[in-house]
Amino acid sequence: MEEEFKINVYTIMGTSTPAGRTSEEGDPAGDTIRNLIIDNWDKYEKISILFEGVVKMTRPFVDEAFAKVLETYSLDEFNQKLHFPDSNDGIVKSLNDAIKLRLKIIKTREEREQA
């Protein structure tokens, strides 16, 4: 297993304000980042997400790119694998808000399925 895979959000998205859930007409979006994370999950010990050049991300983008990883992997696995070395307070808040909301959505879905 390789040690580290780096995902540069600005380079992939080509903008300082990434937005959008799904790639339409070939433009990268949140699902582009999420797919990169999941495709490389088992190949690397850690995945570093780099935000240099990113000013602001939309809620749908953050949910799709990062929080939806929790549909596949647990929060513990997420915290062990993904690293955000250059994230600022705004990015950390966006990530935390999206993760909390996604965990609620997953929990509600599981409760409905058990009912």
Name the residue range of residue 14's domain: 2-114
Q: Which amino acid is at 37?
A: I
Confidence of residue 37 (pLDDT cuts 50, 70, 90): very high
pLDDT of residue 115: 85
- Residues 46-59 have pLDDT tens digits of 999 999 999 999 99
- Residues 81-103 have pLDDT tens digits of 999 999 999 999 999 999 999 99
Q: Round to whole Å and give the CA distance between 45 and 43.
A: 7
- Residues 57-83 have pLDDT tens digits of 999 999 999 999 999 999 999 999 999
Q: Is the pTM of this model over 0.85?
A: yes
> How many domains is the chain partitioned into structurally?
1
> Is the pLDDT reported for residue 24 higher than 90?
no
Residue 12 host element (H or E): helix 9-13
pLDDT of residue 88: 95
pLDDT of residue 78: 98
Q: Round to whole Å and give the CA distance between 73 and 58.
A: 23
